[in-house]
């Protein structure tokens, strides 16, 4: 059963993970969110997640990725009574870069969340709330893994999100294998479509305007 998305309530719906001992990685959730964001059904809805980190430390070593729930999106577990472990650093931030709750309860039952930070082996068991100490720990974690204060990490991310949102308001035109975005009469964005043998679009590549 795949991860699903409820764009109206802004819930990332996690599947029944009983066959995996109720364990999922932050990377899996992020990959599913990005696949959904690029699908036609996601058009017009806010992006669920972003990611930062993975800075090169030299010698083939990198910092952990930090996966961020944005625009009010939350994780919602499958109904039941169990402990759900999320491996990897995943946080939720508002538009000002402040930590907010990252989960909502299941439709039935009670789920205890375990957020396991892979690089440090730290396990944090939480409910849906965020305490003041959680906020301090998250800010320290972001700064430790990226070498930047949390505000410096979040601000560029939101600039990128605003560019993504702008795509929904621009006039679009398809010419041959290109998707063109116009602001008035000015060409703003240009994407080249790659098609398979049957003519289906399998990749969209941005090009310099």
pLDDT over 90 (residue 33): yes
The Cα 134–Cα 97 span in angstroms is 14
Residue 77 shares a structural domain with residue 155: yes
Q: Does one domain contain both 42 and 123?
A: yes
pLDDT in tens, 34-79: 999 989 889 889 999 988 766 554 555 555 688 889 999 999 999 9
182 and 113 belong to one structural domain = no
Helices (H), the chain: 26-37, 132-146, 150-166
Q: How confident is the model at residue 121 (pLDDT cuts 50, 70, 90)?
A: very low
Query: Distance between CA 4 and CA 39 in Å, rounded?
Result: 12
- Residue 16: per-residue pLDDT: 96
Residue range of the domain that includes 107: 4-166
pLDDT in the model for residue 142: 58
Instruction: Give the separation between CA 146 and CA 150, rounded to whole angstroms.
Output: 9
Indicate if 119 and 200 belong to the same structural domain. Answer: no
Contacts of 4 by beta carbon, 8 Å cutoff, 6+ apart: 12, 13, 15
* pLDDT value for 17: 96
* Closest to 37 in 3D by CA, of 69, 2, 5, 70: 5
Examine the domain organization and report whether 190 and 103 are in the same domain.
Answer: no
Q: Which residues pair with 127 in a beta bridge?
A: none
124 and 52 inside one domain? yes
Q: Report the 10 Å Cβ neighbour count for 113.
A: 17
Which pLDDT band, with edges at 50, 70 and 90, does 150 fall under?
Answer: low
Tokens coding 124:
């944090």
Straight-line distance from the first to the last Cα atom of the chain, in angstroms, rounded to the nearest whole number: 41
Average pLDDT rounded to a whole number, residues 7-28: 95
Question: Could you write out the DSSP letters of every residue in 80-94?
Answer: SSEEEEEESEEEEB-
Mean pLDDT lowest for which of 1-10, 51-60, 151-160, 165-174?
Answer: 151-160
Tokens standing for 3?
A: 């991860």
Q: Are residues 91 and 137 in the same domain?
A: yes
Q: Is the pLDDT of residue 152 over 60?
A: no
Residue 180 has pLDDT above 80, yes or no: yes
According to the model, what pLDDT value does residue 148 have? 58
Residues 200 and 120 in one domain: no
The answer on 150 and 116 residing in a single domain is: yes
Indicate if the pLDDT at residue 158 is higher than 60.
no
More confident residue, 100 or 22: 22
Q: In the structure, what pLDDT confidence band is assigned to residue 161 with cuts at 50, 70 and 90?
A: low
> What is the average pLDDT across 142-150?
57
Q: CA 2, CA 15: separation in Å to the nearest integer?
A: 6
My answer on whether 178 and 87 are in the same domain is no
> At residue 204, does pLDDT exceed 60?
yes
Mean pLDDT estimate for the chain: 78
The secondary structure of residue 131, as a DSSP letter, is -
pTM of the model: 0.59
179 compared with 121, residue with greater pLDDT: 179
- Within 45-96, residue ranges assigned H as helices are none
Pair 200, 130 in one domain: no
* Distance in angstroms (rounded) separating the CA atoms of residues 183 and 63: 39
Question: Do 148 and 178 sit in the same domain of this protein?
Answer: no
């Amino acid at each position: 059963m795949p991860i699903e998305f409820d764009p109206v309530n802004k819930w990332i719906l996690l599947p029944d993970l009983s066959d995996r001992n109720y364990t999922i990685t932050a990377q899996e959730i992020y990959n599913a969110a990005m696949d959904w964001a690029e699908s036609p059904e996601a058009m017009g809805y806010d992006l669920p997640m972003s990611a930062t980190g993975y800075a090169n430390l030299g010698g083939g070593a990198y910092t952990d990725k930090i996966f961020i729930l944005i625009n009010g999106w939350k994780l919602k577990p499958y109904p039941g009574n169990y402990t759900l472990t999320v491996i990897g650093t995943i946080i939720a931030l508002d538009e000002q870069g402040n930590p907010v709750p990252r989960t909502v309860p299941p439709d039935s039952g009670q789920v205890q969340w375990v957020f396991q930070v892979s690089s440090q082996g730290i396990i944090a068991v939480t409910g849906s709330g965020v305490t003041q100490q959680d906020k301090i720990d998250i800010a320290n974690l972001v700064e430790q893994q990226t070498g930047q204060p949390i505000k410096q990490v979040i601000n560029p991310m939101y600039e990128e999100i605003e560019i993504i949102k702008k795509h929904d308001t621009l006039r679009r035109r398809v010419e041959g294998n290109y998707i063109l975005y116009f602001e008035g009469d000015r060409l703003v964005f240009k994407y080249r479509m790659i098609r398979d043998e049957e003519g289906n679009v399998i990749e969209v590549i941005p090009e310099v305007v």
